[in-house]
Amino acid sequence: MTHFVPRLDGQPFAAPLGKIVCVGRNYAAHAQELNNPLPDAPLLFIKPASAVVPLEQPFALPRDCGSVHHELELAVLIGAPLSNVKADAVAPAIAGIGLALDLTLRDVQDQLKKDGHPWERAKAFDGAYPVSGFLSPSGIALQSLTLQLWRNGRLQQDGHTSQMLFPIAALIAEISGNFSLQAGDIVSTGTPAGVGPLQGGDALVLTLGQKQAEDLLRVETTVL
């Protein structure tokens, strides 16, 4: 697998790709659609760099692993080290924002949860994290963004970052109190409601925007 190089405003990012810190159940409606309780604190798990592939290119699904669900997420590219910081120290360390799919082997995850086991088999496989290029966040209100996923012309996910249970700055600060973040790490901030299965041949359109404004980011891709 080709090593993924993050791109910021169309150029290779200065730091190599690190880990991907993901957040579960950060949108109440998504937790409810899977019959999961709302968390009292951010639910964190990590995907390795080997899970990352370019969202702009067609991507493959695992075979013979049961249902593979799409989970649209706002991805935050970290640009400076963060360790045990407060929320007001986070913004200068955010290098970019983009869109990602937290691909999930739902049948596998359901069995792992039933058995009380970790989720990595369902979340951290090769190709489990297609991610777009990143945009500089300058002048963008991060808690005022819309994110949408269209599958074969039908709107599947339609969320707004104001709906997050744990806002981005507070979330990243919380993460930094558990383990350090480094330049090149990505924080994946959780998915809104509407997750569902993907099939080979699906055409996807993902957008990131601001209310009553042209999309900041639009990605069209296909499932192999």
Higher pLDDT, 33 or 198: 198
* Spatial distance between the Cα atoms of 70 and 194, rounded to a whole number of angstroms: 9
Domain coordinates of the chain in residue numbers? 7-222
Condensed to tens digits (0 to 9), the pLDDT of residues 58-111 reads 999 999 999 999 999 999 999 999 999 999 999 999 999 999 999 999 999 999
* Radius of gyration for the chain, computed over Cα atoms and rounded to the nearest angstrom: 16
Condensed to tens digits (0 to 9), the pLDDT of residues 113-156 reads 999 999 999 999 999 999 999 999 999 999 999 999 999 999 99
On the question of pLDDT at 213 being above 60, the answer is yes
Asked if 21 and 185 count as a contact pair (C-beta separation under 8 A), the reply is: yes
The residue-averaged pLDDT of 35-56 equals: 92
The residue-averaged pLDDT of 154-171 equals: 97
Higher pLDDT, 145 or 32: 145
Report how far Cα 111 is from the mean position of its chain's Cα atoms.
23
CATH number corresponding to 7-222: 3.90.850.10
